[in-house]
Structure 1
Amino acid sequence: MAHRYKVREIAQQSGLSEATVDRVLNNRPGVRETTVAEVNQAIADLDKQRTQLRLNGRRYLVDVVMQTPQRFSDAFRAAVEAELPAFAPAMVRARFHLWESGSVPEMVDALSRIRGSHGVVLKAQDEPEVAEAVDRLVAGGVPVVTYATDVPSSARCAYVGIDNHGAGVTAAYLVNQWLGDAPSDVLITLSRAVFRGEGEREVGFRSGLRGSGRAIVEVSDSDGIDAANERLVLEALERNPGIGAVYSPGGGNTATVAAFERLGRRCHVFVAHDLDADNRRLLRDGRISVVLHNDLRADARSAIRSLLQWHGALPAEPVRPAPIQVVTPYNLPV
């Protein structure tokens, strides 16, 4: 079977003879494992060189479109901007379209106004109108990668982020371990139900607490904004005196902590998501227990790489769920 590189090319790259390379490629006997490893390394190096040639001088413009609290969009924007130089010799630039709260029509309008883009990184509502807007972009030659929360019925080329269901189950495990036999109901705070990722976290959390006897009280539709979230949490705490733990897939944690303190209530365990500036401060101060986090720079790199793969500028590579890091005050990454 013909190889994608000529025997002569591989021999030059590896420093081996053409006869030796030919024996390795055709799986003939009598070849040492170290020689096979040298040939495989030479082929990997040739793949990298080919990629560099494809990228040399190419310019790409990527749009990041997100409805999310500013504390998260600020962190992700910094991650994207830090990763852009890593795609040299290609030049990749990013435009950011970021807002905290809005409707599905506003999201569809934002997507419809994108021009001259080589790809979109999208955090949006899982609604049919959004899926249709994504499909129109893809049909027009603009690939879309969903981030943190998916729109699976669309033609998006990849989803980048954590396994949200697994994160919810992990949160339930931590809550049960922390509370032990202590009676306590649990508050779950969502930013908005139309974000699929948060819904998957909630489903995972509920499944993980099944059989524990703990009631789960849900608050939603704050968009993760502190002012709206504090009001909702205060109302929930006043109605439910048994709440002594929190799982927060949707943010607004400064407000949730403030609501407990305002009523003089103790929160025995508080599981949050994402190491934004607020959560770092709350974790250091001991006001939340643990943060489920993933490396935003790795996410940004994976998302941009998926867009460049769609254009054939990089070799195909599967996108895997980002590992979930359980962060305490004692292992906060710098």
Structure 2
Amino acid sequence: MSRDFLIKEIALQAGLSVATVDRVMNGRPGVRTLTQQRVAEAIRELETQNRQRALTGRKFIIDLVMEAPVRFTNEVRAALEAELPTLEPAVFRSRFHLWETLPAQAMAQALDQIRETGSHGVILKAPDVPEVVAAVGRLVEAGIPVVTIATDLPHSGRRAYVGIDNRAAGETAAYLIGAWLGTLRCRVLVTISSSRFRGEEEREAGFRQALRRRHPNIGIVEISEGHGMDRETVALARQALMEDRMIVGAYSIGGGNTAVLAAFAEAGRVCMVFIAHDLDADNALLLKEGRIRAVLHHDLRQDMRIACRHIMHAHGALREVEATLSAVQVITPFNLPPTFDG
């Protein structure tokens, strides 16, 4: 047990005598299990109080840097802004650098600018390309911790990744689509915003391998580089549907879901099953209308909270940080959160 506190402090917190706490702390016999638990809980409470005192008034400036469609950056920004007040008594201030598309060199320059300006930490969604990996390395060398979200940069020196297990998310999509399509011999359109994002590649790999293993009757047609933008995505989907009459459903990894559905409608084709990612306003509406079957979602606020805690830990403000990935949630029209169930 901790020796950071005086026995009389622990005794006062636990509501026990000094003699009893002394027996527990020194492992002497004749102490009930419940008493030992009370002492352990008192120490945890004292540790929490110490951390709270140490954080009072401490200020952190963090930067959220993302390349993603605006519908997703809006959701992440809202999640971060909702979580920051819960981190009191520390005071967080956030700066936002958000683009729908951005050349790799421009992303690297943006990260270098943050390094020159100064920051307590960067929360980053960016492609896994050499220019960005090198820029993240320069941030880390300058003492600025980087936490990746949604898609990882595992060889960059980043401090942690927060988000879902992307491979497991792809396997979940395969399980659902296989259950709905059964033994039908067909193919599914898989949309990826860009092959530069490791997270999307991991989702696709999990999806492909799970289908091959469990549902070999269902094939895949992949389209990429639509960047989650409707205009680019609809053109790619239209071309794929024109070339392959066996496509009967879609797994949207990279967004542009309205565009994909429009392409099915233009081709006079029925989309029998459609699985999407991330519960934003657009996807909630598509669910309510019955145009998509399910959305694979996770708690963005949890991601932001853990990301901020990793940054605090990097600066010695926290002793430890939970390292769990976010659970994949399967959202249908029947379990929409109250925010979207209007």
Alpha-carbon displacement from aligned partner over 1:145-178 (angstroms, at most 9, x marks no partner): 0000000001111100000000011111111001
Give the superposition deviation at 1:332.
0.7
Looking at structure 1, the residues matched to 28 and 254 of structure 2 have their Cα atoms a distance apart, in angstroms, of 58
Cα deviation for residue 21 of structure 1 reads: 1.4
My pick for the range that moved more, 313-322 or 18-27, is 18-27
Question: Which residue number in structure 1 is paired with residue 227 of structure 2?
Answer: 223
Aligned pair 1:28/2:28, yes or no? yes
Shift of 1:128: 1.9
SS across alignment from 2:218: coil
| 2:258 aligned to which of 254, 260, 271 | 254
Whole-Å Cα distance in 2 between the matches of residues 325 and 235 of structure 1?
32
- Per the normalisation by structure 2, the TM-score is 0.95
Match of 1:84 in 2: 84
Please state if 1:62 is matched with 2:66.
no
Structure 1 unmatched runs, 5+: none
Q: Which amino acid aligns with 1:288?
A: I
Q: Aligned partners of 2:2, 2:90: CA distance in 1, in Å? A: 30
User: Aligned equivalents of 1:295 and 1:130: distance in 2?
Assistant: 26
Query: What is the correspondence of 1:205-224 to structure 2 with a 5 Å cutoff?
Result: 205-211=207-213, 212-224=216-228
Q: C-alpha displacement at 1:2, in angstroms? A: 6.7
TM-superposition CA deviations, 1:191-229 (whole Å, max 9, x none): 000100000000000110114132210000011011110
8 Å CA contact 2:306–2:321 kept in 1: the answer is no
Structure 2 counterpart of 1:173: 175
Could you say if the C-alpha distance between residues 128 and 26 of structure 1 is closer, same or farther in structure 2, counting changes exceeding 3 Å? farther
Matches within 5 A, 1:281-320: 281-320=285-324
Task: Give the alignment partner of residue 321 of structure 1, picking from 306, 320, 325.
Answer: 325
SS of residue in 2 equivalent to 1:113: helix
The DSSP-based 3-state class of the residue aligned with 1:36 is helix
- Tell me the CA shift for residue 88 of structure 1: 1.0
Correspondence for 1:131: 133
Residue pair 2:63, 2:97 contacting (<8 A) in 1 also: yes
User: How far apart in 2 are the matches of 1:2 and 1:258?
Assistant: 62
Gap runs ≥5 in structure 2: none
SS across alignment from 1:210 = helix
Partner Cα separation in structure 1 for residue 23 and residue 283 of structure 2:
57
Give the corresponding residue for 2:196.
Answer: 194
Cα distance in 2, alignment partners of residues 235 and 123 from structure 1: 29
Aligned amino acid, residue 282 of structure 1: L
Equivalent AA in structure 2 for residue 277 of structure 1: A
Q: Which amino acid aligns with 1:232?
A: L
CA distance in 1, matches of 2:310, 2:144: 12
Contact 2:186 2:217 in 1 (8 A): no
Percent identical across equivalent pairs? 53
The structural deviation recorded for 1:99 is 0.4
| Aligned partner letter, 2:119 | S
Whole-Å separation in 1 of the counterparts to 2:147 and 2:91: 19
Aligned residue number for residue 148 of structure 2: 146
AA at the equivalent of 1:33 = T
SS where residue 316 of structure 1 aligns?
Answer: coil
Secondary structure, aligned partner of 1:333? coil
Query: Could you tell me how far 1:231 is from its partner in structure 2?
Result: 0.6
1:103-118 → structure 2 map (5 Å cutoff): 103-114=103-114, 115-118=117-120
**1:12-27 equivalence runs, <5 A:** 12-27=12-27
Per the alignment, residue 166 of structure 2 pairs with: 164
Aligned residue pairs, count: 334
Report deviation, 1:272.
0.6
Report the residue type matching 1:185 in the other structure: R
The worse-fitting range, judged by mean Cα deviation, of 26-35 and 172-181 is 26-35
* Separation of aligned partners in 1, 2:328 and 2:23: 44
Q: Is the 8 A contact 2:184 2:217 kept in 1?
A: no
